[in-house]
Structure 1
Amino acid sequence: KAIGANAGYVRDLLDPAKNTMPTIDKLRAIAQELDTSVDYLSGDSDAPEVVRSEVTLSDKHIDWRGPDRAEPGIPLVGTGDCADLEVCDVSGDMIQIQRSSFDPDHHVRMLQRPPALRGQTDLYAIYFHGESMEPRFEAGEVGIVDPRRPVRTGDYVLVQLNGGDSDDVVSVLAKRLVRQNAQEIILEQFNPAVTFSVPKSKVTRVHRILQQTELLFG
């Protein structure tokens, strides 16, 4: 009855004298209702259990990337051209160094966070200004800064400068760190090539500018 057959069909199927064989469609239907296989019913297999694959097909879209977790963007803070800063180079001569204005409270826009930097919420970004670090940093490029990463000799850094009478940041330097001690920080710029020092009394913070490999791989 389950496969749509009448009593006569079942009687003929069970009569050895008639040797009735069901069609392939009927055989499949019988196997499905008896929860066995066509091979078992036809004598080609001794195992009545149906072999089931662990792999299934589904029309439902599966997002292999996992759930979409909202990640905050990286704020691009306000920077701009600023008056030069007079510093002392390693030979003792006073020179002029390019610096940029800095307004951490003004966000120009929010940048999309690279996957490798997910969960790092203290990051901020700046525009590079001037030509002092070309060709490493071109004017108008964006650099991402991580305040939490330790600063090491040879790193590219963002030095936040105060006005001398408080720790309030008034400008920044984007340079390469040569070395530092309790009294001063020694920095390098590429264009024009010069190594110079800034008194620690004028430095509020030194933050690391992330390199490309860190942006890609964390």
Structure 2
Amino acid sequence: MSEDQPRPKTVFSIEEPPIELMIQRIDERLKVLGLTDRQASIRATGLPDAIREIRRFKRPGSKRMIQLAKALETTPDWLGGYVDHQRGKVWLESTESALPIYGVADLPRDIPVFAASVDETAPAFFKDIVEKEHSIEVKKRLYVMCFGYNFNDPIDFARRPPRLAKRDDCYGIIIHDDALYPRFEISDVLYVDPRRHAAPGEYALVRIKKEAIPDFKTQGEWAFIAQIDPDKSERLDQPWALRVFNPDLRFTLDRRTVAEAHRIIPWSELLSL
């Protein structure tokens, strides 16, 4: 070939696996993880339609494949149908033997996580159930940190820490307010134990009785997170003594308005330290 003649272009062709195989493998991982299309899509991209688009035979790009594989706890190569094996075991089939744990990826993701359905006007009832001696300014700050939660509809699932290996009643809650900053920040996921009583100095998710709320409209429950006041004795014949940090406020709540106060589990306890 003469040096003056142009070199022929080399063309590389990669045969794409059928998208039906990708859909089949997505379904396999959804079943193992106990997720819906919407839950997995939100976990991967923050949007609800990622998997629905694939079911419409729209092949995702490489970035989207990596996001989906991470959310489904597998590899992009396996999810896309390019290989027949997953690299390493990334989930456990049962929580009965959740210990010992060799890495975060070995923790099953099956703790339901609940988020608030924010209503700008509904929390106004809170100012009426806080003890009367508190000022209007305090009441205003307190009732804006109370949110409506639908405890029958988790938005996601969190990994199961070693301490909760055989517990089927614990759940997660997402922080929506900065009332406990800097102890907890907005968007933090907290693990909640509905069995144990929160002692003074510990934190609790306080769930309000429906009958205590005039014109109750939400489908879920009204609840908020606070510290049990460490400087007050915990007596059943006394109002709940609670505290938030931002700003630093101490207040009491009539026990007749509280349905349950579920303990927030510290991370040191979750990790069995």
Q: Work out whether the TM-score is over 0.5.
A: yes
Aligned pair count? 151
In the TM superposition, what whole-angstrom CA distance separates every residue of 1:60-111 from its partner, at most 9, and x where no partner exists? Answer: xxxxxxxx65127111123243535215469543422111211110111221
Partner of 1:93: 135
Given candidates 234, 243, 248, the residue that maps to 1:193 is 248
C-alpha distance in 1, partners of 2:270/2:169?
A: 14
Question: Quick check: 1:70 aligned with 2:70?
Answer: no
In the TM superposition, what whole-angstrom CA distance separates every residue of 1:166-195 from its partner, at most 9, and x where no partner exists? Answer: 8x9621110001245335211100001100
Partner of 1:151: 198
The percentage of counterpart residues that share the same residue type is 25
Q: Which has the higher helix share?
A: 2
Question: Quick check: 1:135 aligned with 2:190?
Answer: no
Query: Aligned AA for 1:158?
Result: L
Q: Indicate the SS of the match to 2:211.
A: coil
In the TM superposition, what whole-angstrom CA distance separates every residue of 1:105-137 from its partner, at most 9, and x where no partner exists? Answer: 011122120123200111000101111111111
Q: Which has the higher strand share?
A: 1
The TM-score normalised by the length of structure 2 is 0.50
1:90, 1:196 within 8 Å by CA — same for their partners in 2? no
Q: Are the structure 2 counterparts of residues 215 and 201 from structure 1 closer, same or farther at C-alpha, using a change threshold of 3 Å?
A: same
Shift of 1:153: 1.2
Structure 2 gap segments, 5+ residues each: 1-91, 96-107, 214-218
In the TM superposition, what whole-angstrom CA distance separates every residue of 1:12-63 from its partner, at most 9, and x where no partner exists? Answer: xxxxxxxxxxxxxxxxxxxxxxxxxxxxxxxxxxxxxxxxxxxxxxxxxxxx
C-alpha distance in 2, partners of 1:173/1:93?
A: 19
The TM-score normalised by the length of structure 1 is 0.61
Question: Quick check: 1:212 aligned with 2:267?
Answer: yes
Structure 1 gap segments, 5+ residues each: 1-67
Q: Which has the larger radius of gyration?
A: 1
1:162, 1:204 within 8 Å by CA — same for their partners in 2? yes
2:131, 2:254 within 8 Å by CA — same for their partners in 1? no
